[in-house]
Amino acid sequence: MSEGVEWALHTCVNLAWVGRPVGSARLAAFYGLPPAYLNKRLQNLVRAGILTSVPGPKGGFALARDPASISLLDVVTAIEGPDPAFRCTGILGDSPWGDKTADHPSTCAIAAAMRRAELAWRRELAGQTIADVCATVERRAPGEPERTRRWFG
Amino acid sequence: MSEGVEWALHTCVNLAWVGRPVGSARLAAFYGLPPAYLNKRLQNLVRAGILTSVPGPKGGFALARDPASISLLDVVTAIEGPDPAFRCTGILGDSPWGDKTADHPSTCAIAAAMRRAELAWRRELAGQTIADVCATVERRAPGEPERTRRWFG
């Protein structure tokens, strides 16, 4: 998984706290990230409907919806794409009695087992939201939202 | 995840049925795989204690232990390595009030959430063995073990 996932998740948490548009250079400066690379990841989040890009002098990136309706799976999928980690290429179809026309990703016992694991991973990520992460941090560090808002000015 | 995982899992199932050493060229020929690449993956399985490499004219690769004690996680880890898919680089330590010396992979709420998903994935893969896959295939195609043994001669 690319570093972009870590950047995107942390940036969504910051935007949830700040509550108004912030430019990508400022978002990048918070962690000392390369602005152009972060900007590309933020564009991925805009295309996925997680962020909006607000034009104008007070513009920037902002959450497009309630942080309680943005799951970690939404963010990971926006950055990494929807493909599963394990891709069945259907090598069973190339075996001596293989049927190349069969739908191996659906029928192969190995593909099914790998898919069950992938679903367990997705289910876990789908059950956790940006709001959940914010709440966890705020329990440990109640001043974090205010401190973050102040820094972003 | 690399194609090597698919190759390795299918090859372990075949070796469970064949029950004696088979050379990598013959194992590769079963699916029309590139023998040199498959051989590299099989060496990964030997290093992980999943296969043994038997020398001599009747030698080749064989399962090193009972297929019921080889989990899919064992095979995936042997090929892909033990690192989690999400790697926390600790960008929290680079924030304006970040502590670079803190153990962010252990304490960050985002790293923890990603780790829970990874554990769900690993748990699922650890709970399924090569013997389970063999049993699933045999329920649908009872002749598969014998047919495979015959092909490998």
Distance from CA of B143 to the nearest CA of A (A): 12
| Residue-wise pLDDT tens digits, B29-68 | 999 999 999 999 999 999 999 999 999 989 999 999 999 9
Chain A interface, mutation test: which of B104, B110, B149, most A Cβ atoms within 10 Å?
B110
Could you tell me which chain B residue has the CA closest to the CA of A139?
A: B109
> Model pTM?
0.93
Which amino acid is it at B105?
A: P
| Residue-wise pLDDT tens digits, A35-61 | 999 999 999 999 999 999 999 989 999
Q: What is the ipTM of this complex?
A: 0.94
| Residue-wise pLDDT tens digits, A102-151 | 999 999 999 999 999 999 999 999 999 999 999 999 999 999 999 999 99
Q: Which residue, B48, B40, B37, B42, is CA-closest to B9?
A: B42
- Euclidean distance between the first and the last CA atom of chain B, given in angstroms as a whole number: 32
**pLDDT score, position A147:** 97
**pLDDT score, position B89:** 94
Contact B147 A118 (CB under 8 A): no
**Separation CA A16–CA A68 (nearest Å):** 10
**Scanning the structure block, which residue is given the tokens 């560090």?**
A141
- Enumerate the residues of chain A whose CB falls inside 8 A of the CB of residue B85: 1, 85
**Separation CA B16–CA B130 (nearest Å):** 8
Contact A34, A28 (CB under 8 A): yes
**pLDDT band at residue A153, thresholds of 50, 70 and 90?**
confident
**pLDDT score, position B153:** 87
Q: Are strands B60-63 and B51-54 parallel, antiparallel or unpaired?
A: antiparallel
Out of B13, B31, B85, whose CB is closest to A94? Answer: B31
Distance of CA A122 to the CA centre of its chain: 12
DSSP state at residue A32: T
**pLDDT score, position A94:** 95
Contact A113 B95 (CB under 8 A): no
Which amino acid is it at A26?
A: R
Contacts of B95 (CB under 8 A, 6+ apart): A30, A31
